[in-house]
Amino acid sequence: MKKDIHPNWHHDCVVTCSCGNSFTTGSMNKTISVDICSACHPFFTGEMKFVDRQGRVDKFIKKRATAEAIAKEKKAAKKVTQKSNEPVKSYKQILQEQQASLKQEKKAASTKEVKAETSTKQASEAVADKTVAKNS
């Protein structure tokens, strides 16, 4: 066994409970204090005993109340945003709207091309008429 690497073991560690009971055991600490022991635990005694260490129950109740308040605020905010937004659309409706807008864009682009072609034809005809008039 190597020296100076093992913890100090106390064979006479005194465990003291908040109910006043104490007993000895082995541990690395010389003394241990506990809130509940076998002499006062409800499982061993058969008595119902409420133990609240350092206000943990009160702390839990406060946390739960704040969590409920935050959840209500989030729910109210979510309802407000849903009411202010557009009505909810299905995936099919959204696709139909997008297809309709694409068709309109294609029609607009094709009419622009037709107008551009007609204007270039008219311009070329006008140039041809001017050249014919000059030649005659």
Residue ranges per domain, the chain?
A: 10-51, 54-85, 92-128
Note the pLDDT tens digit of each residue in 94-107. 999 999 999 999 88
Give the residue-averaged pLDDT of 53-66.
Answer: 86
Q: Is 11 helix (H, G, I), strand (E, B) or coil?
A: strand
CA distances from 107 to 6, 70, 114, 115 (A): 86, 52, 10, 12
Judge whether residue 24 has pLDDT over 90.
Answer: yes
Answer yes or no: pTM beyond 0.75: no
CATH for the 10-51 domain, from 3.40.50.300, 2.40.10.340, 1.10.3720.10, 4.10.80.400 = 4.10.80.400
Half-sphere exposure of 97 (CA within 13 A, CB side): 6
Which secondary-structure segment (H or E) carries 95? helix 91-135
To 5 degrees, how large is the angle CA 108–CA 114–CA 118? 145
Note the pLDDT tens digit of each residue in 121-131. 777 777 777 77
Judge whether residue 48 has pLDDT over 90.
Answer: no
